[in-house]
Chains A and B, each alone.
Chain A
Amino acid sequence: MELAFFIYFAAVIAATSVMVVAVRNPIYSAIALLIMFFHVAGLYVTLHAEFLAAVQVIVYAGAILVLYLFVVMLLNLRQDDRYHRQWPMAAAVGATLVIEAVILTVMKGWTTPVVAAGTETTVEGTSNAGAIGDVLYSTYLFPFEVASLILLVAMIGAILLAKKDIVEVNSEG
């Protein structure tokens, strides 16, 4: 049962990912990406990470992709041929990845998986949102804070870029 779900989600994720870059109409690309996000969320649910699944949909599908669509619609790009002369390059990268995946799959039986000590944290908790919160604010507090700092920097940068003229006027006056 779980394997069947995994195969379904994985197949759709692979297919829609290809569509995102292969389809010529940017709106269709966005829709393919939306379907992909949902199936990634489905994959999280099969792994019993419901919180991650919900956040995946809220953040990626609900906010980021809507902004993409917003921009695409604002520019009204019906069709864009500029980015479709890269098939040889894409084929080369894709072939490398496929070979790598095949080698890794075959090698799996030969070597024992190496798990670094101390990276896995077991959390006693009833909900997995609580578990993520515990881990995020104890073990991974520093990376978490660094990530938020980076976001803050990006935000300030964006505001500066958008309000450049205002800053210049102020410094002159």
Chain B
Amino acid sequence: MTELSLRLAVSFAQILAEMSIVMITVATLTYFERKVLGWMQDRMGPMEVGPYGLLQPVADGIKLFFKEDIVPAGANKAMFALAPMLTMVVSMIGFAVIPFGPNITLDIFGMTIKPFVVADINIGILYILAIASIGAYGIILGGWASNSKYSLLGGLRAAAQVISYELNVGLAIVGVLMLAGTMSMVEITEAQAGGFWHWFIWGGRPDGFFPIHTQIFAFVVFVISAVAETNRIPFDLPEAESELVAGFFTEYSGMRFAFFVSAEYANMMLVSCVASALFLGGWNAPYPGTIFEYVGLEQLAWIEHIVWFAAKVYFFLFMFIWIRATLPRLRYDQLMRFGWKVMLPIALANIIVTSFTLYFFPR
């Protein structure tokens, strides 16, 4: 029993650490997004609170915390309260299987602990897909429970959009799963060790540089579908400001509104983590080994790994903002046609091509 409680304590510590990292990154992202958007539009971005507006996330947090919580008349109170909670929880628990750093094990009190991943389960990527599919419920229920036309329309759009693009996400990763031969996020990342030509986006064989198993099409499909799944511009129809006020969270205020917004940022971060772990080698450096190893500091190599992982994730996060500053919103029929008639065939063709190349040129 003591071992069980010790294990629980270690798990809780890991979960706490991971959640703090995610929440801090979400807060940073709100600042980062406004600043980058500002620069891209030839503005300064937030400048008032703190030096260069650095304390803006803190000010926003305090403001949202003290805002009045309004529940519209005629709203379904239970569902109205449930929706933001569901969205927030779902966006948080997906991180449990993301390997933030190298797959090293520590022995503490006779237990083996993997410090950089909360749970290394053998269906890691399926777990993330399952969690992501639950995310739609928060949006749909929030839209329905608000008892408002705009919210309901936003919720309906979200349901259709998330289902359509989830399929593409699922199909896009099949090629990677075939190359790695496993569904564990840790093992998928480890299979890409040893230089950027081993990353699944190129898919070079270990004995040569020629990228015969390249997953670059799957990568493009995955990234576009990921943008759609997180309801970001140009796929932000569920919350289109110019059409639906704010879509499914029109009626929300205060901390509930904050829950929806931070869940969106956390989801962005989650898909960025998944994209870098599946296609860009996760915590592997783009060169074989690590610099710390070359200079004889093997025990510090994990720092370099984590820095590389963070760099890849922030690259994707920057790209999300970049896309937002660049592209206009899709029309609804364009969104559906693009998802079903362009992305889906590409993802399916990628599976067929990858299985053929794997059959003729096994890894």
CB distance A73 to B140 under 8 Å? yes
Q: If the complex has contacts A61-B134, A74-B156, are A66 and B140 also in contact, measured as CB distance less than 8 A?
A: yes
Q: How far is the CB of B108 from chain A (nearest CB, A)?
A: 23
Q: List the B side residues contacting A73 at CB < 8 Å.
A: 140, 143-144, 152, 155-156, 159
Do A69 and B121 touch across chains, with their CB atoms under 8 A apart?
A: no
The smallest C-beta distance from A153 to any residue of chain B, in angstroms, reads 20
Which partner residue on chain B sits nearest A38 by CB separation? B134
User: Contacts A58-B133, A127-B122 given: A69-B183 contact, CB under 8 Å?
Assistant: no
**Looking at the complex, which of B123-131, B317-325, B355-363 is the stretch in contact with chain A?**
B123-131
In the complex, are the beta carbons of A66 and B123 less than 8 A apart?
A: no
A31 and B162 alpha carbons, distance in the complex (Å): 18
**Contact code string A47-69 (vs B, CB < 8 Å = 1, else 0):** 00011011101100111001101
**Contact partner, B134, options A53, A57, A127, Cβ 8 Å:** A57
- Would you give the shortest CB distance from A95 to chain B, in whole angstroms? 33
CB <8 Å contact, A69 and B140: yes
A66→B126 contact, CB < 8 A: no
Q: Which residue of A lies closest to B79 (CB)?
A: A27
Q: Are A58 and B130 in contact (CB under 8 A)?
A: yes
Q: How far, in whole Å, are A35 and B95 apart by their CA atoms in the complex? A: 22
Specify which of A27, A55, A67, A74 is in contact with B163 (CB 8 Å cutoff): A67
Q: Residue of B at shortest CB range from A65? A: B137
Which residue of chain A has the shortest Cβ distance to B177 in the bound complex?
A: A129
B266 in the interface, Cβ–Cβ < 8 Å?
A: no
B133 (CB) vs chain A CBs: closest residue: A62
Contacts of B182 in A (CB 8 A): 127
Determine the main DSSP class of B at the interface with A: helix
Q: How far is the CB of A26 from chain B (nearest CB, A)?
A: 11
**Distance (whole angstroms) from the CB of A80 to the closest CB of chain B:** 16
**B166 beta carbon closer than 8 Å to chain A:** yes
A-facing residues in B173-215 (Cβ within 8 Å): 182-183
B140 to chain A, nearest CB (A): 6
Smallest CB gap from B181: residue in A: A130
Instruction: Give A51 to B76 CA distance when docked, in angstroms.
Output: 36
> Number of contacting residues on B, CB 8 A?
29
Instruction: A128 to B126: give the CA distance in the assembly, Å.
Output: 13
Asked if B26 CB lies within 8 Å of chain A CBs, one says: no
Chain B CB count within 10 A is highest, among A51, A73, A128, for: A73
In the complex, whether A34 has a CB less than 8 A from a CB of chain B is: yes
Known: A73-B152, A127-B183. A62 touches B122 (CB 8 A): no
Distance, CA A51 to CA B170, complexed state (A): 15
B134 and A63 form a contact (CB under 8 A): no
Could you tell me the distance in whole angstroms from the C-beta of B304 to the nearest C-beta in chain A? Answer: 30
Residues of B within 8 A of A53 (CB): 123
Given A66-B162, A70-B159, A70-B160, do A55 and B126 touch, yes or no (CB 8 Å)?
A: yes
Q: CA of A107 to CA of B141 in the docked complex: distance in angstroms?
A: 46
Q: How far is the CA of A58 from the CA of B135 in the complex (A)?
A: 11
Residue pair A58, B126 in contact (C-beta under 8 Å): yes
Residue B136 is within 8 A (CB to CB) of chain A in the complex: yes
CA distance A55 to B126 in the complex (A): 8
Bound Cα distance from A85 to B170, whole angstroms: 42
Cβ–Cβ contact B136 & A66, under 8 A: yes
* Cross-interface CB contact of B133 among A27, A57, A74, cutoff 8 Å: A57
A16 to B16, CA, bound (A): 31
A127 to B126 CA separation, bound complex (whole angstroms)? 13
Smallest CB-CB separation from B130: which chain A residue?
A: A57
Chain A 22-58 residues near chain B, CB threshold 8 A: 27, 31, 34, 50-51, 53-55, 57-58
Q: Which residues of A contact B159 (CB under 8 A)?
A: 66-67, 69-70, 73
Residues of B contacting A128 with CB < 8 Å? 122
Q: How far is the CA of A69 from the CA of B152 in the complex (A)?
A: 12
Residues of B within 8 A of A69 (CB): 137, 140-141, 144, 159
In the complex formed, the residue of B with least CB distance to A57 is B130
Given A51-B123, A55-B126, A57-B134: A70 touches B140 (CB 8 Å cut-off) = yes
Cβ-defined contact, A27 with B144, below 8 A: yes
Q: Tell me, in angstroms, the Cα distance from A53 to B123 when the chains sit together.
A: 10
Candidate in B121, B123, B136, B152 with the most chain A CB atoms within 10 angstroms:
B123
**Beta-carbon contact of B133 and A50 below 8 Å:** no
Q: Quick one: which of A50, A57, A58, A66 contacts B121, CB cutoff 8 A?
A: A50
Q: Which of B137, B155, B160 has the most CB of A within 10 A?
A: B137
CB distance from B225 to the nearest CB of A (A): 14
Complexed CA–CA distance, A103 and B126 (Å): 40
Complex interface: chain A residues within 8 A of B132 (CB):
62
10 contacts between A and B (CB under 8 A): A54-B123, A55-B126, A57-B134, A58-B126, A58-B133, A62-B132, A67-B159, A69-B159, A73-B159, A129-B126
Spell out B's residues near A (CB within 8 Å): 76, 79, 121-123, 126-127, 129-130, 132-134, 136-137, 140-141, 143-144, 152, 155-156, 159-160, 162-163, 166, 170, 182-183
